[in-house]
């Protein structure tokens, strides 16, 4: 049984911008972005070191970490700079106008 939590409404996510949403009981916010028209949800922390990815920026289908500029593909989670790092993607379910993600 997944741990599904409500994160935001669809209208809270502008195309081309990073939005981070606090989820009760979770240390780091959940980032929701549009990538090539698809909603993607990822943890708000860089898997390299504990840095807020919400302070980074989008470049095409990638999010760039503000600390060391590592590039994470938002379609795959892969890191261009370190093959051992992966940015997890949370499964998304849209219910009405709300975005829910499975944290576990
Ligand atoms: S902390 Fe994100 S690339 Fe180093």
pLDDT in tens, 57-102: 999 999 999 999 999 999 999 999 999 999 999 999 999 999 999 9
Q: Give how many domains the chain has, as a whole number.
A: 1
What single DSSP character describes residue 67? T
18: in domain: yes
pTM exceeds 0.85: yes
What does the block give as tokens for 42? 């990822």
11: in domain: yes
37: in domain: yes
59: in domain: yes
**What pLDDT, on the 0 to 100 scale, is given for residue 104?**
87
Handedness of CA 49, 93, 22, 3 (dihedral sign): negative
Regarding the beta carbon of 31 and ligand 1, being less than 6 Å apart is answered no
Regarding the beta carbon of 45 and ligand 1, being less than 6 Å apart is answered no
72: in domain: yes
Block residue for tokens 């261009």 = 80
94: in domain: yes
Confidence band, pLDDT 50/70/90 cuts, at residue 2:
confident
Check whether 1 has a pLDDT greater than 90.
no
What are the contacts of 80-84 at 24+ separation with CB within 8 A? 82/48
CA-CA-CA-CA dihedral for 29, 35, 39, 43, to nearest 10: -20
CATH number, domain at 41?
2.102.10.10
Helices (H), 20-95: none
Regarding the beta carbon of 49 and ligand 1, being less than 6 Å apart is answered yes
Q: Going by C-beta distance under 8 Å and a sequence separation of 6 or more, which residues neighbour residue 2?
A: 91, 102, 103, 104
Q: Which structural domain range is residue 23 located in?
A: 4-99
The C-alpha atoms of residue 18 and residue 16 are separated, in whole angstroms, by 7
104: in domain: no
What single DSSP character describes residue 90? B
**What pLDDT, on the 0 to 100 scale, is given for residue 66?**
98
């Amino acid at each position: 049984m997944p741990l599904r939590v409500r994160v935001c409404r669809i209208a809270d996510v502008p195309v081309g911008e990073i939005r981070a949403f606090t989820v009760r009981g979770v240390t780091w916010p959940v980032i929701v972005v549009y990538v090539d028209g698809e909603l993607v949800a990822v943890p708000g922390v860089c898997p390299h070191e504990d840095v807020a990815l919400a302070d980074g920026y989008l470049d095409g289908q990638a999010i760039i970490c503000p600390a060391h500029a590592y590039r994470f593909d938002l379609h795959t989670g892969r890191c261009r700079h370190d093959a051992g790092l992966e940015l997890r993607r949370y499964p998304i379910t849209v219910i009405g106008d709300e975005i829910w993600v499975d944290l576990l």
